[in-house]
Amino acid sequence: MKGKDTADTAFMCGPNMILRRTAVLEAGGMCETSIAEDFLTSRLIHEKKWKSVYVDEVLAEGLAPEDFLSYYKQQFRWARGSLEVIFKYNPLFRRGLTFSQRLQYISSAGFYLSGLIVLLNATLPLIYFFAGIEPLAIGTMSLALIFLPYMFVVLYTIQVTSNYSYTFRALSFSLSSFPIHCKAVWQILTGKKSGFVVTSKKKVSGNFGYLVTPHLVYIGLVVFGVLVGFLREGLTSAMVANIAWAVIYIAIFVPFISAAFEKTSNEQSEKDEIAITPVENGVRG
């Protein structure tokens, strides 16, 4: 958000904000046509030439999802609502925004298209295992010389911009959310409507393994595909490279899968509810 503030594109993200009433009224009030109403309303306010400021201080605290199901629903709502900004309210074709504001809004909303890229990259080894087709005709060392520096720059940039607080678990949840992002894209393209689901303010008990079915299917296909590929050509350099690529994705998916199978008992949920009772009248996200 610091970076977006320099481009006058700091947007509303949850309840912890102060709005000038005149600015909201000029934008037509809080948007009620999108499930990402804060994000879209911010853009409408910026179109009216109002400025936004990000205050780099902790002045209020909110709650994050405490269970996998709540996290899944929240991420889908964000993805579905943000993608509407691209497909229905594309800032590139709206008046009132500066060029940098257009790019910032497209960049923020476009993040949820990354699920398609993750799906494509994870599928490449499977194509080789089962069909023997090489999506990339490049030597292992040449690929490493190109890919490794690129990954280093990307990860270093993420660490710097997150004040060195970015963890492997955060990376896992970001990339492993690709089924959520793909589902959101599909609903946008097919015109399927989606209602606003409020994120639960307490833990929801249960086992949510069914939400990671795509990841478990992927692991099963990799295991079976390695067997098929090995019987076809043995342990060639191409097989080693594709196995390594698939293993990287499996390693990334593991924390996400583990979170889905974490059980929350009713007793634990009641304890957590009691623990947050003192801030019942406070600000929550």
Let me know if residue 199 belongs to a domain. yes
Number of domains in the chain: 1
Let me know if residue 181 belongs to a domain. yes
Q: What is the mean pLDDT of residues 22-34?
A: 87
Let me know if residue 174 belongs to a domain. yes
pLDDT of residue 1: 77
Does residue 67 surpass a pLDDT of 60?
Answer: yes
Let me know if residue 61 belongs to a domain. no
Query: Collapsing DSSP states into helix, strand and coil, what is residue 206?
Result: strand
**37 exposed, middle or buried (CB, 10 Å; 0-12, 13-18, 19+)?**
middle
Provide the 8-state DSSP code for 261.
T
Let me know if residue 125 belongs to a domain. yes
157-206 residue pLDDT tens:
888 877 788 888 988 999 999 999 999 999 999 888 776 666 666 777 77
Distance CA 24, CA 18 (A): 11
pTM of the entire predicted model: 0.81
Query: Collapsing DSSP states into helix, strand and coil, what is residue 147?
Result: helix
Let me know if residue 266 belongs to a domain. yes
What b-and-e string marks burial along 230-252, b requiring 16 or more CB atoms within 10 Å of the CB?
A: eeeeeeeeebebbbebbeebeeb
Let me know if residue 209 belongs to a domain. yes
**141 exposed, middle or buried (CB, 10 Å; 0-12, 13-18, 19+)?**
exposed
Most confident by average pLDDT, 39-48, 59-68, 145-154, 266-275 = 39-48
By residue range, what is the domain housing residue 265? 111-276
Let me know if residue 65 belongs to a domain. no
